[in-house]
Amino acid sequence: MILGENWMNTSYAPHRDVVRELTPIMIFIIQSINDVDTTDVHTSLSELDERNDNTFIWWGNFRKQWLVQKFGKWADFVYSADVYPAFACGSGNVVNRNVHEWIAKNADYLHEYQGEDVSMGIWMAAISPARVEDGRWQCSDSCTRDALSRPELEPSQIKVHWENLLMCSDPCGC
């Protein structure tokens, strides 16, 4: 049986290595961004300072009641429920130090599901973090001036966004 391309073939090794290497270092937040995004790191970090306390905090734009796919690129052959717990869309999200430490401490016991976003949602269901829902972590192809991230951009689009940002402080256009 040929399963075809799916995200189960994606290696988690780099993610685990980062978690293990960063554990002994003083970290207050971990920010996850996709490799084809534009991200306003300065704004996201300064706003997180206002949210950081002694609880579990997860800040992003969350998909809820997302159906588990049984076929195709996003197929998940392991997770047995019909829907996933809430998970942040892949454009970017931020967790505070407490969440990072929990993941690092439990990394050897956390199962890798369909993809890193879905896996994170399943793992976070165990600790019920305070989810800070923020649409500025964009999940779609729209562009807004106050976006913290924009997903799935071509290199030429990233260049245009950067040039617009430098010329008129608006990545979407002048």
Considering the domain boundaries, does residue 148 fall inside one? Answer: no
Predicted confidence pLDDT, tens digits, the chain (174 residues): 333 344 444 444 444 444 444 444 434 444 454 544 455 556 666 666 555 566 899 999 999 999 999 999 889 999 999 999 999 987 888 888 889 999 999 999 999 998 889 999 999 999 999 999 999 888 887 888 888 888 888 888 888 888 998 899 888 899
Contact between 32 and 93 under an 8 Å Cβ cutoff? The reply is yes
Determine the Cα–Cα distance for residues 172 and 174; give it in Å rounded to an integer: 7
In terms of residue numbers, what domain contains 65? 7-139
Domain count for the chain, please give it.
1
Considering the domain boundaries, does residue 154 fall inside one? Answer: no
- Does the pTM of the predicted model rise above 0.85? no
